[in-house]
Amino acid sequence: METTITEVEHQGETFFSDVQSKLAELEAALQKAKQDMACLLKEYQEVVNSKLGLDVKIDTYGKLLKGEESRMYKGVGSVSICKSDMWHVAPTGVRSLLGYI
């Protein structure tokens, strides 16, 4: 009976040692996963910041373009085109209507 008790104690110690080893592996894996997540989060924040910066630039250039178009159209006023202005001589000598070459 003492041998049985000793064997069971030994098996229990071995099992406990295996469980502790497995726990240490899992804790190390968890720590690595946390570090990887932190790196990914940092990269994500950098990408989001870049995107926000680009969004601001796009909006700014859109406003500038809209302002230029508005200024250009205000400066043009009314345009009158003479019939003679619509005809020109093409380099080959063929007369054609502007825009229909």
Each of the 101 residues of the chain gets a pLDDT tens digit; together they read: 888 999 999 999 999 999 999 999 999 999 999 999 999 999 999 999 999 999 999 999 999 999 888 888 886 655 555 555 444 444 444 444 444 44
Question: Six-digit token pair at 9?
Answer: 């104690």
**pTM passes above 0.75:** no
C-beta contacts of 71-79 below 8 A and 24+ residues apart: none
